[in-house]
Amino acid sequence: MSRYWLGLGANLGDRRAAIEAALAALAREGRVEAVSALYETAPRELEDQPAFLNAAARLATALEPPAMLAAAKRIERGLGREPGGVRFGPRPLDCDLLLWDGGEWRGPGLEIPHPRLHERRFALLPLLDLDPGLALPDGRRVADLAAAIDPAAQPAERLAGPLRAPEGGEV
């Protein structure tokens, strides 16, 4: 079994429902062990778009990284994301492989850890909810990476209220 830390985000339609539907779909690929709180975050790169809801999930599965990527893309398409589109633009769902307990992976269309994870507060904060002591394969701690990003430059508001996790997952 492999363990993945995935980032989930949405800024179109019912954002919470999209993330909850993605969690349910992930549960069909393995066991969702834990789910972070929801964070409302300002868009980055392309700023003229609605705010995002972001979360993270830890998934245990038999899938190897290329198959896990294919599952993530299938989940995105199933929830309305069209291939292509504007880079960093609005989307009904984004499902990114952020970390893998196997360390690093480099292959066509996939790099783990996610190559921009260290600069994305909206991805780092939910990961801390899951595993406060989590570190990248190179030893950098997720907590230190998050602390190095100015909160004013990348605002993220932790939302009250539980996020529904699939059966057996923690929130």
Active-site residues, by number, are 81, 91, 94, 96
Least Cα distance to 75 among 6, 22, 34 occurs for 22
Tell me the DSSP string of 98-145.
EEETT--EEETTEEES-TTGGG-HHHHHHHHHH-TT-B-TTS-BHHHH
The Cα 29–Cα 27 span in angstroms is: 5
- The pair of structure tokens assigned to 17 is 């429902």
The Cα 121–Cα 78 span in angstroms is: 27
For the purposes of burial, counting CB atoms within 10 Å of the CB of 11, is it exposed (0-12), middle (13-18) or buried (19 or more)? buried
